Structure 1
Amino acid sequence: MTLPASFLRDAATLIPADRRFTDPTSTLAFGTDASFYRLIPQLVIRVESEAEVIALLQLAQRDHVPVTFRAAGTSLSGQAITDSVLIVLGDHWNAREIRDNGAQIRLQPGVIGAQANAWLAPYGRKIGPDPASINACKIGGIVANNASGMCCGTAQNTYHTLAGLRLVLADGTSLDSEDPSSVAAFERSHAELLAALAHLGRETRANTELAARIRHKYRLKNTTGLSLNALVDYDAPLDILQHLLVGSEGTLGFISAVTYDTVPDHPHKASALVVFPSVETCCRAVPLLKQQPVSAVELLDRRSLRSVQAMPGMPVWVTGLSDGACALLIESRAASQSLLHEQLAQVTAAIAHFPVEQRVDFSEDPAVYNQLWKMRKDTFPAVGAVRQTGTTVIIEDVTFPVEQLADGVNRLIQLFDKHHYDEAIIFGHALEGNLHFVFTQGFNSQAEVARYQAFMDDVAQLVAVEFGGSLKAEHGTGRNMAPFVELEWGHDAYQLMWQLKRLLDPNGILNPDVVLSEDPDIHLKNLKPLPAADDIVDKCIECGFCEPVCPSKGLTLSPRQRIVMWRDIQARRRAGESTRELLDHFQYQGLDTCAATGLCAQRCPVGINTGELVKKLRSQAAQHSTTAHWLAEHFTTTLKGARLTLATANGARRLLGAPRLQRLSTRLTQLSHGKLPRWTPAMPQPLRPISFAPSAKDDRPRVVYLAACVSRVMGPAYADREQTSLIEKTQALLEKAGYQVIFPEQADSLCCGQPFASKGYPEQAEHKRQELLAALLLASRGGLDPIYCDTSPCTLRLTQDLADTRLDLYDPVRFIRTHLLERLTFTPQNTPIAVHVTCSTQHLGESQALIDLARRCSTQVVIPEGIHCCGFAGDKGFTTPELNAHALRSLKDAVQHCDEGISTSRTCEIGLSTYSGIDYHSLVYLVDRVTQPKPPHPSP
C-alpha cells in the first residue's frame, strides 16, 4: 500500500524534516534488523518524545496506516521491520530513576541493557534479563520480546520482575501504571476495554483445560505468541494489560517506560567445563544441577565444540574429543567467597558419579572462566564466519522439557542430517531445556527455500507437537514463527490471542504479521538477500552489535547500515542497474562521515572492521597519489605548512576576534565542502620544531621519546589555561621520574603514516611507518631502550603487525603504569576530572588502566556515558565537524561539573574541548601536577 497523502502531510507538521526519512538510502538502511528478513519502509520517523508517539498513532489510527516500533534492531525473528512506517527511538529516551538503594529501577526504552546494569552495579544489583545482545539491545526491545538469557531463566525475565509500565495504546492513549491520576483517567476513558480484559481473564481461568495448558507452557521458557499467562496469573485488568504488553513485540502498544524489581548481582563467581562422553549422560546431569546453587549451565554439543576448537586459547584436548561428546559450562555465583566455595563443593559432589571425558575444574581466575565463556560465546559467530558468501546464518531457539532434553538434542541432530545442514551446531541454556541451534541457509533459489520450509515444518512438529515444547524460548515469535503459533498452542489459545489483538488494536495497525498472521507462508516471504560486497565485510550477519559504539550512528549510517548499502550497490552493479544516485548518497553517508576507527570490530561477533572497508574504498577513489608521495618525501616541509596554517589562523583570530572568526570559518567550511578546516577556540597555536641537543654523559636510564607529528605542530589553544606544550610537559615528567630523554634524529621528517592511511594512501602510509620504525630502532640502540609515544593513535599504528620484536613501544598509559608508578608519589587532587578513553586506547587494551590512573590522580573521576568515539578522526573534526559534534552531543551535560578533561590524543582533545565547555589535555598534564619523585632508596 502507498501511504495516504493526509498521513504524510500531517506527519510532516509533527516531525521536523531532519527526523523523517523517505530517501532510498535511509529506507534501505533502516530496512534491516538482525533477522533474515527484509522489508523496506516507505517512511522512517525518529521520535524524541511520548507526545510524538501519541500524535503519530492517532494519525495512523485515523488513516489505517501500519506502524512498527524499532529500538536497537537486534531482534532475530523479523519483528522490527516493515514496508509501511517505521518508528525508531531517537536520543531522548535514556532517562532512569534508581529507587530504594537499587531495589528498583525505572527506565525509558532507549536505555541499552548493559548501561542499566552499569548504573545498578554500585548497589550490587542488576536487571533480571541478560540476553546475549545486552551490550547493544535496548530496554524497549528487552521488554517487548520478554528477553531472557543465560542466567535469567524464567523467574527473572521482564514478565516476572515487572513492577510498573508506562504504555501507549494503538488509539494514542497513554497509561502509567505507577501514576494514580493516570490510572484513574484510564479507568474512566477505557472502562469497556478493562471490563473486556477482566472478562477474558475470568473465562480463561474457568476453562481449566486451557488454564492448565497455559501454566504448563510457561513452566518452560516460552515467547511463542502473546503472553497468555497474564490472564491466569492476574485478575486485576490493569495487571493483565501491562503483563500482556510484555513479549507482545510491538503488536499491542508502545512501551515508553518500565520499572523493574532488580535482582542481586553477586560479585564472587567461578566456572567449570565438564565434557561428558555422550549427549544422554550430559543431559542426565542437568536435572541434578538444576537443584544446585548454580547461576548458569550451558550445553555445547560436539559440533559446537568443533566449531571453536581451532581458535586461540582453546584447550588442546578439545580437538581429540569423541564424536558423541557433549559439554556443560557451569557457573556459580555468591555474595561471599566462603559461600561460593560451599556452593562449588555441593555442585561438584552432585555430579561426581557421572563419567567424564575431559574437564576444567571450577576456577575463580578471570583468565580461566573468561576463556571458558569465550568458547561458549564464540560458537555462534564461528558458524557465521565460515559460511558461504551469500548465505545467512540462522539461530533458532526452542525449549524441550528438561526431562526430555537428551532425546530432543538427538532428534534435532537427526533433522540436521535429514535436511543436510551439516554445519549446524547446538548449544543453549540447559537448566531451562532451552536450545539454540545455528545453521547456514541460502535463499537464492526456490530449492533452498523449500529445503528451509521442510526443515522448519519438521522442527515445529518435533518441538511443539511431539515434545510439547516451545518453538521460541527467548528470541520472540516475530514473523518467523507466526504461522506455527496455532500448531504449538492449539485452536482455543490461538483464538484467544486473536481476541486480545483485536481488542487492543482493532484496526490492526500495530506491527501486522508479527506474532499473529493469517498468512501461512509469512515466514518464507521477504527473505533478506546477503549478496557479496567485499571480502572485508561479507561475513557480516547484520546483528547490529556494532552500532552503540559508532560515532556516526544517528547522523548518517552505522557500520551495519554501511554494509547493507554497499551490498545493495554491488548487487545492483552486477544486475546492470544504475547505481549513481546510491553512490552519491553513499559518498557522504557511508565514506565521508565514517571515523574509520575500527571500534565496530571490537563489538562484532565475527570481527568485521567496517572502517577497513571505508579506507579501502577511499583508497580506490584517491586521485592524488603524486601529491601524497611528495608530502611523504618532504614531510618536514609538510609540517612547516601545517604550522603556517595554524599561525595564519591565530593571526586571523587576533585580527577578527574569536567569535567572528568562528562564524566565518564555519561558513567557509560549509561552502568548501570541508576542504577548508573549521576554526574553533580550541584550535591549537603553532609549535616550533623540536630542537634538543644530545646530553653529555648521563647515568640515568634512557627513554626514547617519540613526539607524534600533531604534538610537534600543535601547541595549546590560545585560551587554554595550560600553556606548556605537550612535548615540554612530557619531557619534564619523564625527567622527574629519573629518565634521560632521547629524541630520534630528524624528528620533523618522521610520521607513523596515519594521516596517509586514513586518506586512502596505504603505500605512502606504510613507507612512513617503516621509516619511523627504523629511526626508533636506531634511537633505542637496537631496542635496548623503551620508546614512549605521546599519542595513542600513533602507538596503535606502529604496534599493529609489528614484526620487529626488539622495539619496546609504549603509549602514555602503559608507560606510566609500567615504569612511573614505582618512581613517583601520587597525591590525588579533589577537583573532578573527565576521562575520555580514545578508540586507540581501547584497541591497545588500556581502557581500564587509563581510568585507574585517573583515579590515582583525582578523587572524582567522571567517565561520560555513551561516548565511545569522539568522531574527530584525525582531521574530520576540522573538515566534517558535524561528525564530531554528533558524537559528542551529550558530552557537555555529562562533564559540566568537571574541572578539566584528560585523554591521550591531541586531535581528540581539540574536539572534546570544543563540545564540552572544559579544556581537555593529555594524561601527562594531570600526572605531572599530582606527583613528586620518590626519594631514592638508601644504599645498604
Structure 2
Amino acid sequence: MTSAAAPDSTAHPAMGGHASPQARAAAYDALREALAQHIPGERLIHDPLRTLAYGTDASFYRLVPQLVVRVHDEQELGHVLRECRVRKLPVTFRAAGTSLSGQALTDSVLIQLGGEWRGAQVLEQGSRICLQPGVIGARANQLLAPFGRKIGPDPASINSCMIGGIAANNASGMCCGTAHNSYRTVEDLRVILADGTCLDTASPESVQAFRASHGGLLAELERMAASVRADPELAERIRHKYRLKNTTGYSLNALVDYADGLEILKHLMIGSEGTLGFIASITYRTVIEEPHKAAALVYYPNIDAACRATMLLKTAPVAAVELMDRAALRSVEDAPGMPDVLRTLPEEAVALLVDVRGAHHQELEVRMTEVARVLEGIETCESWAFTQDAQRYALYWKIRKGLFPAVGAVRDLGTTVIIEDVAFPIERLAEGVGALTEVFQRHGYSQAILFGHALEGNLHFVFPQGFEREGEVARYQALMDDVAQLVGQEYGGSLKAEHGTGRNMAPYVELEWGKDAYALMWRIKEAFDPDNLLNPEVILTRNPRLHLENLKPLPAADPLVDRCIECGFCESVCPSKNLSLTPRQRIVIRREIARLAALEAPDDAQRDQLAVLRKEYAYQGMETCAGDGLCATQCPVGINTGDLIRGLRHEENAGADHPGKMKVAHWAGEHFIRVTSGMRGVLRLADGLHGVVGTRNMRRLSQAARKVSGDRVQQWTPSMPAAAARDYLKHLAQPLGRSAAPNGHVVYFPSCATRVFGVAADDRDPRSVTEMALALMDKAGFEVVLPKGVEALCCGMAFQSKGQFEAGDAKAAELAAALVEASDGGRLPIFCDTSPCLAQAQAYAGEHLEVSLTLVEPVQLVLDYLLPYLSITPLKARVAVHVTCSSVRMGLAERFVALARQCASEVVVPEEISCCGFAGDKGFSTPELNASALKGLKEVVADCDYGVSNSRTCEIGLSEHSGLSYQSILGLVDRASAPR
C-alpha cells in the first residue's frame, strides 16, 4: 500500500522517534511542571493505575498515556495545547471513550473531559440547541423532549456517548441516515485549534478576529475547494461517496458543498476525530421527534427478498429499517423474552425491523397502511403486523440492539469482539451481503453476524477475534485486506459508514479514496496541524500495519466480568466516575492485575507494577465502589461490577491479613440488637455534643477525629439524624386508631436504618419513617403485623456489601424465616420501608425459599395496596425526587415519579444524578464518594421546597448536598391523602 507524502512524525519523542526513554520522561516531567502553573496537580494524572484505566476506550487497541489532564475550561485546554506544542508532544481528546475504532487512545497526553463540560442551552423553543462536548446524547434529547424535538444523530450508544464524540465521529444511527447527521445539522461550532486559538462561528467578533489572525488557513481551504470543483472527476467521486453513509477519512464533501473558508472549516471539523482541533461546543438544528410509534418484525426467506423489500421501503414513510441475518437472529434467540419463531426460521432467513412514526395517531395509521401496501406481494416466512404496544415495540428493538453484546457474551476467554461497519450502494446490497459472507467463510470467521441500517446499505459485521495464538493476527489482516478490497474497490462503498476511521481503518483510507483524494486529506491535516500533534495516527497514517499493533489483551480475571467488552456504557450512571474509577476501568485494572500475576517469569518492573496496582486498587477500585448495581442496567451483557468488588472484599476479609474481620461480622450478626442499640447511643452522643459545641466546631472535631484515626472514625455532617426514639416499637406494634382492619393486614418490616436513624434537625416532617408508614397504612384501613423479634432482624445487606457473605446470608435467612411466619406462609403482603433492603430480601427469598413471598417497598405499597382506599389532593409544593438505585433496578423509576406527581403540584427529577453514592454507610466512611456523586444537585433543586426518596441513609446524603430536607415519599403521600 502506498501513501501520499505526509508530515514526518518520527521527530516526536512520544511517537517512538529517536529520543531515549530518559529524554521522553524528562519531556513529560517538564510538561507537568509547566501545566501545574495553571492546573491543580490532582488533575495532572500520571500514576500507572489511572493512566491505564483512563486511557482505555471501547476499541480492541491499547495505548497507555504518559499524562492524563482533566481540563475544566477552554483556558486550561489552551494552556495544555500550547505547552505540548512547545515540546512537540502529541495530544488526544477524550469524551466518553465509547469509540470502537481506537480514535480516543494515545501513548502521549490524553485530555479528559469531566463534568465541567456539560453545558446545554435550548434555543428558539427547541429548534436549536447549543451543547458542550461532555453532554451525553440522551441528555440532549431529554432537554428537547418538552418541545417535541431531538438532535439528528441517534447512535445506539446514545445513552452513554457524549456530544463531543458524536460530532467528532459524525456518528449517525438507526433513524438518522445521511440527512440528519452532525454534518447536515450543525449550525455553529466553537473550536480550539492546535495553536490554542478559539473560534466561535456564531460570534461575528470572533469570526472577524479569526479572519484577521488565520486568514491563511481559510484561504488554503478555499483554494482546496476551488481545486476540487475544477476537477470534475474528483468532485463527482466525492459526491458519489456521500450518497452513502461515509466516515472514512475527512469530510471531503465540505469542499464541494461550500466555497467560504469558514463554512468549510466548520464542516471539516465534523468527523475529524480530534485530529484538526477541539470542539468546545456545537449548535445543532434539531429535528422533530414524532411521539407515536409502531414497529413490525418481518421475516423473509432470504437476503434477496429482504433487499427487494428494502428498496421498496426507501420511498415509503418509514423511520428506520434494520436488517438482521440468520446468524444475528440465532445469537439472541435463546435470550429471555425472545419470540419463539426465532428458533424455527430457515437457515437463509433474514429479518427486517420496520419502524414507523407519526405526529398523531391518525398519521401513524395512514403510514402503517401505506407500508403494508408497499410490501404486499413479497414472500415472507410468516404473516406479520405492526405493533403499537410499548412492551412489544421495545422487545423488537431489544432484539436489534442486543446483537453486538450477544456475540461478546459468548466469545472465548482471551478474545475480543470486533465490530466494523461498511456501506454498500443500496442497489447492490443483496449482492454485497453475499460477497461479504463469502469472505468471512473463506477466512474461517463462521461466527460472524451481519446486521445494520438497511435503508442506507449500512451493514455492521461482528465477530470474536483472538490475537494471542500464532497466525491469528495474519488471519485478521487477510480478512481486513479482502474486506477493504471488496467494499472500497469492487463495490465503491464505504469502509467506515458511521463509527469513524480511527486506527483500525486508517491504513485503508487511500485504498478507498484513491491517491488524489488521499493527498488532499494530508493537505487538510497539514493546514490545521502542521506539527501533526493532534491525535496522530488516527484517520491518516503512513504505517500500513497500524491496525495490527498495540492490540488490547483481555485475559481472564473473574467469571463475573470476563464477558466485559469494555464498551463503557456503564460509566454514565456510576457514582464514582468523577472521583476514582468506573465499572469499565475497575475491570480493566483487574484484568491487568490478573495478566501480571499470571506471568511465569516476571521481571522487576512487572513485579513492581503489580504491587503498585494492587495497592492503589484498594482505594480506587474497592473502597470507592458504591456497589449499587446500576452499571448492570446499562451493560449490554448485564455485568454488575459491584459483584466483582464485593467478591474482592470477601477475599480480603478472609485473608490472613485481616483475621478478625469475619469474627466481628459474625458477632455483630448474632448480637444485632446490641449493635443497633449502640449505634443509637452514638447518635445520641453526637447529637448532644453538637448541641454544646455548635455545627462549625462539630464538623472540625469530626474531621480531626477522622484524620487521627486514619479515616476509621465516621464522618459527621449537619444532616445527621438524631437517634430513633427508644419507644418507637410501642406505637409500631399498635394500630393508630382502628381496632379492626377493614382492608386487610400488611406485614411491616422496618429496616435497621429506620430503626436506628430518626429525624434530623432540619427535616420538614417531624415524624420518623415508621410513624409516617403507620399513619398511612392506618388511614387506608390496613392493620400492621410485625415479624417476631423484629429488633434483631436485618436483610444482610450491611454485611454483604462489605464482602462478609456468611454473616450476610445468616441474617438474610433469619429474616426470610421470620417473614414466612409473619405472612402466614406468604398469604399476606410484606412491606419494607427502605427500598435497598427490600430488594436484598426479595433477591434472597427468590433464590432460597420454596414459598413465594410478596415483598413491596414504599412506592409499591402505596400504588398496589393503599391508593384504592385513599383520596389524593396534590400539595402546592415543588418537590425534588430521588429514585434509589434499587428502585431503578426493580423497574420502579417511572412509577416512583408518577406517584410523586400525583401528590405534588411540581416535581423535579435531576436527570444527571443517578446513584447518590451514600451506599449504606459509605456516606460516613467515604464521604467524598457521596459528595462527588451529588455534585451539581444543589443547583438543580434550588427552587424546590423539599425532597423525597425511599432510603433513610440516601436521604441523609441528599439532604447534606442539596440544602433541602429529604425524607421518605411516604410522608408526602400521607400529607396529600385522606381516607376515601
Whether 1:749 and 2:792 are equivalent positions in the alignment is: yes
Partner residue, 2:941: 895
Partner residue, 2:951: 905
Give 1:70 shift.
0.3
Q: 338-347 or 575-584: which moved more?
A: 575-584
Measured on the aligned residues, the alpha-carbon RMSD in Å equals 1.2
Question: 2:763 and 2:163 mapped to 1: Cα distance?
Answer: 41
SS in 2 for 1:783: coil
Q: Which amino acid aligns with 1:742?
A: V
Question: 2:502 and 2:307 mapped to 1: Cα distance?
Answer: 30
Q: Which amino acid aligns with 1:876?
A: K
Given candidates 601, 604, 611, the residue that maps to 2:632 is 601
Q: For structure 2, which runs of at least 5 residues remain unmatched after alignment?
A: 1-12, 14-23
Partner residue, 1:698: 740
Whether 1:858 and 2:904 are equivalent positions in the alignment is: yes
What's the CA shift string for 1:323-354, capped at 9, x where partnerless?
A: 00011000011101111111111111111111
Partner residue, 1:881: 927
Give 1:58 shift.
1.5
Contact 2:763 2:967 in 1 (8 A): no
- Please show how residues 279-678 of structure 1 align to structure 2 within 5 Å: 279-575=303-599, 576=602, 577-578=606-607, 579-622=610-653, 623=658, 624-678=661-715
Partner residue, 2:59: 35
Question: 1:903 and 1:679 mapped to 2: Cα distance?
Answer: 21
Whether 1:65 and 2:89 are equivalent positions in the alignment is: yes
Question: 2:496 and 2:704 mapped to 1: Cα distance?
Answer: 55
Give 1:525 shift.
0.6
Question: 2:576 and 2:863 mapped to 1: Cα distance?
Answer: 33
Q: 44-53 or 623-632: which moved more?
A: 623-632
Contact 1:598 1:611 in 2 (8 A): yes
Partner residue, 1:738: 781
Contact 1:272 1:359 in 2 (8 A): no
Question: 1:795 and 1:6 mapped to 2: Cα distance?
Answer: 54
Question: 1:697 and 1:181 mapped to 2: Cα distance?
Answer: 77
Contact 1:694 1:742 in 2 (8 A): no
Contact 1:146 1:157 in 2 (8 A): yes
Partner residue, 1:770: 813
SS in 1 for 2:697: helix
Question: 2:141 and 2:341 mapped to 1: Cα distance?
Answer: 36
Partner residue, 2:770: 727
Question: 1:895 and 1:369 mapped to 2: Cα distance?
Answer: 34
Contact 1:833 1:901 in 2 (8 A): yes
Give 1:764 shift.
1.3
Question: 1:779 and 1:489 mapped to 2: Cα distance?
Answer: 74
Q: Which amino acid aligns with 2:920?
A: G
TM-score by length of 1: 0.98
Question: 2:597 and 2:856 mapped to 1: Cα distance?
Answer: 46
SS in 2 for 1:685: coil
Q: Which amino acid aligns with 2:621?
A: G
Number of residues of Structure 1 aligned to a counterpart in Structure 2: 934
SS in 2 for 1:546: helix
SS in 2 for 1:765: helix
**Kindly tell me: are residues 555 and 270 of structure 1, through their superposed partners in 2, closer, same or farther at Cα, counting changes over 3 Å?**
same
Q: Which amino acid aligns with 2:583?
A: P
Partner residue, 1:938: none
What's the CA shift string for 1:10-32, capped at 9, x where partnerless?
A: 11212111111000011110121
Partner residue, 2:9: none
Give 1:697 shift.
6.5
**Kindly tell me: are residues 839 and 670 of structure 1, through their superposed partners in 2, closer, same or farther at Cα, counting changes over 3 Å?**
farther
Q: Which amino acid aligns with 2:876?
A: N
Q: Which amino acid aligns with 1:590?
A: G
Contact 1:865 1:894 in 2 (8 A): no
SS in 1 for 2:283: strand
Give 1:655 shift.
2.3
Q: Which amino acid aligns with 1:707?
A: P
Partner residue, 2:234: 210
Give 1:824 shift.
1.0
Question: 1:144 and 1:804 mapped to 2: Cα distance?
Answer: 54
Q: Which amino acid aligns with 2:506?
A: A
Give 1:171 shift.
1.1
Q: 351-360 or 893-902: which moved more?
A: 351-360
Given candidates 783, 788, 801, the residue that maps to 2:826 is 783
Question: 1:504 and 1:342 mapped to 2: Cα distance?
Answer: 50
Give 1:413 shift.
1.2
- Please show how residues 131-142 of structure 1 align to structure 2 within 5 Å: 131-142=155-166
Contact 1:669 1:879 in 2 (8 A): no
Given candidates 743, 756, 772, the residue that maps to 1:713 is 756
- Please show how residues 906-925 of structure 1 align to structure 2 within 5 Å: 906-925=952-971
Q: 689-698 or 136-145: which moved more?
A: 689-698
Question: 1:112 and 1:521 mapped to 2: Cα distance?
Answer: 34
Give 1:445 shift.
3.2
Give 1:358 shift.
2.8
Question: 2:765 and 2:773 mapped to 1: Cα distance?
Answer: 13
SS in 2 for 1:194: helix
Question: 2:391 and 2:943 mapped to 1: Cα distance?
Answer: 37
What's the CA shift string for 1:605-657, capped at 9, x where partnerless?
A: 11111000000000011131111111111111111111111112112212222
Give 1:787 shift.
1.1
Give 1:830 shift.
2.0
Question: 2:368 and 2:591 mapped to 1: Cα distance?
Answer: 50
TM-score by length of 2: 0.94
Q: 714-723 or 490-499: which moved more?
A: 714-723
Given candidates 868, 884, 900, the residue that maps to 1:838 is 884
Partner residue, 1:235: 259
Question: 1:628 and 1:513 mapped to 2: Cα distance?
Answer: 54
Q: 799-808 or 37-46: which moved more?
A: 799-808
Q: Which amino acid aligns with 1:620?
A: E
Contact 2:32 2:44 in 1 (8 A): no
Partner residue, 2:16: none
Contact 1:71 1:109 in 2 (8 A): yes
Give 1:699 shift.
4.3
Question: 2:779 and 2:908 mapped to 1: Cα distance?
Answer: 28
Q: Which amino acid aligns with 2:107?
A: D
What percent identity do the matched residue pairs reach?
A: 54
Partner residue, 1:937: none
What's the CA shift string for 1:724-780, capped at 9, x where partnerless?
A: 111111101110111111211211010000001011111111111111111111112
Question: 1:697 and 1:554 mapped to 2: Cα distance?
Answer: 53
Question: 1:566 and 1:312 mapped to 2: Cα distance?
Answer: 30
Give 1:151 shift.
0.3
Contact 1:690 1:747 in 2 (8 A): no
SS in 1 for 2:122: strand
Contact 2:118 2:133 in 1 (8 A): yes
Question: 1:382 and 1:255 mapped to 2: Cα distance?
Answer: 34
SS in 1 for 2:427: helix
Question: 1:857 and 1:191 mapped to 2: Cα distance?
Answer: 61
Whether 1:103 and 2:127 are equivalent positions in the alignment is: yes
Give 1:667 shift.
2.5
SS in 1 for 2:535: coil
